[in-house]
Structure 1
Amino acid sequence: MSVQSAAADVDVDLRQLFASLARNWRRIAIVTLVVTGAAFAFASLATRHYKAEAQLKIESGESVYTRPNGANDNDKPILDEEGIATEVQIVSSTDILKQVASKLNLARLPEFDSALNMSALSKFLVIAGLKSDPEEIPPEERVLKRMRENLNVYSVEKTRIIAIEFSSQDPNLAAAIPTEIAKAYIATQGNAKVALNSAATAFLGPEIADLQKQVKDAEARVATYRAQSDLLMGGNNSVLATQQLSELASELSRVRANRASAEATADSVRKALQGGGSLDAVPEVLSSELIQRLRERQVELKTNIADLSTTLLDNHPRIRALKSQLADLDSQIRNEAEKLMKGLMTQAQTAQARESQLVADVNTLKAASARAGEEQVELDALQRDAAARRQQLESYQANYLAAASRKDRNYLPVDARLVSEAQVPSEPYFPKVVPIVGAAFAASLLIMAIITLLRELFSGRAMRPAAGARFDRIEQVAMPVIRHEPADIEAPANIEPEGDRATEAAADAETAAAPLDVAAAELPLADVGLKRSSFGEIDVEKAAEKLIASGAARAIFVSPEGDEAAASAILVAREVSDAGLRVLLLDLTASGAASRPVLDSALFPGITNLLASEAQFSDVIHADHYSDCHVIPVGTADPVRAMRAADRLPIIMQSLTTAYDLVVVECGPADAQGISRLVGDATEIFVSMLEPDDEVAKATVSLIESGYPDLTLVTPVGHETPGTPVPGRRSAA
């Protein structure tokens, strides 16, 4: 048989849940009114406190017209977040608070000195050692402690404003103290600048005198060294030897270039003369005026010869005379080229001699320049030292004059100013009667409502069957209360029958309690024997061992023979409990047969009280007097009223199996339909049997045919009476 978890078959009944607020409205209203009244009394009787605020702006107090020349951004006050936070700490420093406390004489006021006007109760607590004696602390520290408790200094976000907030029982003091703190802070900043200015002038005076002597000595060393080294300065502020070396180097380069050019030209002319080549390719030959005139005459003669050759023969005297002149011109041109070559060679030799002289002069100047360079380095070092000392002297003199003039004129601007003085408050900031009373009313009402709803929810009274879930008639489980000996349990006097609905519920329960399988009642005893041999008959110890070994969470006992057979459930529960498991015995019999022997009484609240919403789990769970087992008896509530909430029984079973290792349920002579809502995961079903009679046979066969083939027959025969203390067993706490 597939059995679903009981928790999946239920839902929260919101109507029932919120109806609990209406049922408990008196308690909610009383608690809410009491809390609201207490809050009103507190707000009315509490000491009034007033709060005022002054504001400081952190900014540069120096004017652009009075700032010393050369002052840069580093001279400005630090205005970043860390700088503002530092100023906040300075505002609330002990020195400033002491100045304000002394100026306003706060030590005479009981508000700031707890040792003044101590109440009798406070004195008693001090004498009894339950409270520290304020007189053990110096009066000044007591005043400062109280001031710090009432003072709040903070920087306004994203601004350079520092707010000084103070609370006091006296509105005038609440306004005076933050203003005086701001003024004391500004005065402290001014005094700090005076001290810094005085320290600066005291330091700069001797330093200036010492620097003047150092500058004079440094400049004298520069002049002496320049005279001793005989360093001559040329143009561009450079040493003369270095300048001459540079000029000679340039001249040497020029001479070398001319020599190379002359040698190359002479060589090209020589090659042309020796090889019989044309001299027209040599630029120097072409640039000679004489050679150019000879070339022109040569061209003219060639033209005349060509003209005469058209009419005269080559041996004609005129042609021969012209050719002779042409040969003389060629000889003259070559002679002139040779002269030009010799001139170039002479020019190259002259350049080479000049080059040699320049090289010697350069080498001489190199040595002189090296010596001059070393001397110039030393001179530059002396000049730098003298210049640095003079620069420092001039800076010190400027700062000294500025500091001295500020001191003489008493001009020392502070980097803060009071932008808003604290105003005397007209209304106290504490206590606010309306907000306090309103908050107390709303909070108490909400808390009481939540407590009521949680109590209703955890008790299970706000649960209902889930939509679509198939619920059989749960009355068959606890219905022996109605079906068997209904007169044995008396309903409480304060619960009356609920008319026709109660009668109908009782009638339904009686109808449901009728036997389901008549055929099973007519089976012969021999068939019962077959069933017994098929399923086996075990004693209490074996049943307990089976439950422990299987890890069952629920054990359902059906007792067809009535109250006497209920002893099996009691004995099995005790056996499992003695093995160390947490066990609960739930009595669903009509007469309380399973709980009366272990509790020695039937007048304890139990399952019917829980179903009728008259009790909670903590009220219905009791301890077995003879073992560690816990017991939920039948209870004392009206059975009819309890049956109306029978759908909550699966939820109760689910909660019990969560809290205990094993829940043993004694159902009395119930049938398969009666135990269907008790069955869940890890459930074992037992049939209690005293004698193998027809009643047991019918019940066993009915359970088997109804889908419970794995049931077990158990007999309490041979065991002691459940109400008799068993040696070695402990009593449950």
Structure 2
Amino acid sequence: MTEMLQDIPTYARPIEELPQRRLLPDPSYIWTVFRRHIKLALLVAAVVVAAIAIRVVTLQQVYSATATVLIEPRKTEVVKMDSVVPDIAPSSDIVDTEVRILNSPTLAARVAARLNAQGLDIGRFTTDVDKRRAAARLLRQVQIERSGLTLVIDITASTAQAEQSAAIANAFAEEYIDSQRDAKRNATRDASKWLDLRLVDLRASASQADAALQRYRIANGLMSAQGATMAEQEVSALNQQISLARAELAEKQGALATARSQLRRGGQGADVGAALGSNTIGNLRQREAEVSQNLAQLETRYGDLHPDVKTARSQLADIRSQIQKEIDRILSSLEAEAAVAGSRLSSLQSSQGRATGALAANSSAQVGLGELERRADASKQVYQAFLNRSKETAAQEGLQQADARISAFATVPLLPSFPNYKLAGLFAVVAALFAILVTTVLAEYLQRGVATKDDVERRLRLRYAGAVPSLDSTLEGLRSHETPQDYIVSHPFSSFAEAFRSLRAFVTLSAANARVIALASALPQEGKTTTSMCLARSAAMAGSKVVLVDCDLRRRGVSATLGVTNDGVTDVLLGKGRLEDGLFDDPLTPLKILGTSDAPTTANDPLTPENLQRLVAELKVKFDLVILDTAPLLGVADARAVASVADAVVMVTRWRKTSRNAAEAAIELLADAGAKVAGMALTMVDIRKYASTGQTDSYGYHKRFSSYYRN
């Protein structure tokens, strides 16, 4: 196919000279492609947005409420209870475990019972099966997860009712806290019961140990008081008494010895210390002194023989006798006291001997006593420890606190979490943009029509002859009651007429000395005949001698439209008439028309190369410009013969309608016929959408040149 196109004698630039494509697509090209299919793309986008909106509106709304629980192990307690009911440690494994507990069916069943007691409608709740089903439904409505790596657990409930979602989330959090508190309380209660039972055994064991110890002490004489045995206390007391007795004996013996020593010195005991301290002796000595003084006075007064002197002497002798007797009695008393002290010391020493023997006998029994004491002490310590633990447990039973707290209660949500209208809107926008992209790409891919200059030059390898607009698109919303070929006559300075002047300029500038121009198309209804008539009238109004030859003998488009009444083209081709007689005058312009009034009725084909060459040669003598309107190339073989005799062939293709495959097939036929293809023109172009083709000729800037035209 490519080789065939390269053989076409065209005035197009060599393909090597065409601009090369860049690695990335031109943004302006992407924009023009989008504009080409903007209506379809926007329609699809609107359908997508509407479908998403309908879907979102019809979805059941779901409200989500979240309660948060903070795992918070207690560090301060009224009573130390770590060994009875230990607190949890704030480790990752423990937090994950608590999450699993929150997701347990047991806790869900408790939550269901709580909600049912609160009057919340959670379905039937009469049998155990109903309770299990209610718990399962609650677990499906709740999502419990740890918040990152923190000690916070999020409890999110999602239902169709906002109040119910908040109630379920809060119920899970509260029931979890209550379950922890109940678990600790039950553990404390169980521990207290076990401790009470154990205390009974320990108390009996301690009592038995004490009884055995006491029996052993009694049996072995190891009774003690104030930390010592009776024998030890007795020996200690005897030692103290013996020391005192020895001191007392020494004192008594010393006093007795002193008194005896004084007696031996002739003092007759008057200076004995015991006598000196006697009140009796003191009184007697006082009387002795008084009598001695009285005797002295009497002797001085009366002499020795006086009776009073004798009486006084007798009294003095009697007193002195009494004093001596008292001294003797005192000495006898000292001897008796010394004897008693000695006897007492001997008795104490004897008792000490016996007590020492008993203490020595008890020493061998101390080994067994120590063992029994250790056993009794151990029993008492164990019993006391359990007794203290029992008291602590009993005191802690009413003070138990959970290892978590509710950091935030779930509030009643005002907006549903599903569907998320913001997210749905964003999704709708993204989906609409994606739909626009896909629609544009598919439409561009599936579009087989020739629509752009790029299609003509790069894909069909022809020169771009320009765009011929549709008449309605040039009127800016107005409607014309004239046909295009008549409008070009009544409005010669319109943008529609300017398109044909541009087409004529393209042909004359591209193909030098091109006086015979054939307009060809691949398929019918591509605007070829209208283009031929408008081009011919435009050239005729410009002052050129122009003839329009209707070579489509079967359809007779030009002849029927312009009202040709004779069979000039057929007669001239077959040599049955003169050229001058076959020409028909255009009623509106100086244009001459060589047409036919009736379609062929025989199989005789007048459009042979010889006939056409002779006709063209004759027409070139009389006219400046000869325009040949041909039949469709793909359907009628005559069109190739007509195109072969023209100086230049202009392919006419309907904008965005004629497929590239049809255009390529027509170009192949022209190549086979040896036609000189000058280029390709796009017809019936809507200049309001023309910018979407990416063209940069006058129609790309149509609005800027509106002041130059009079439509």
Q: Could you tell me the TM-score, scaled by structure 1's length?
A: 0.37
Structure with max Cα Rg = 2
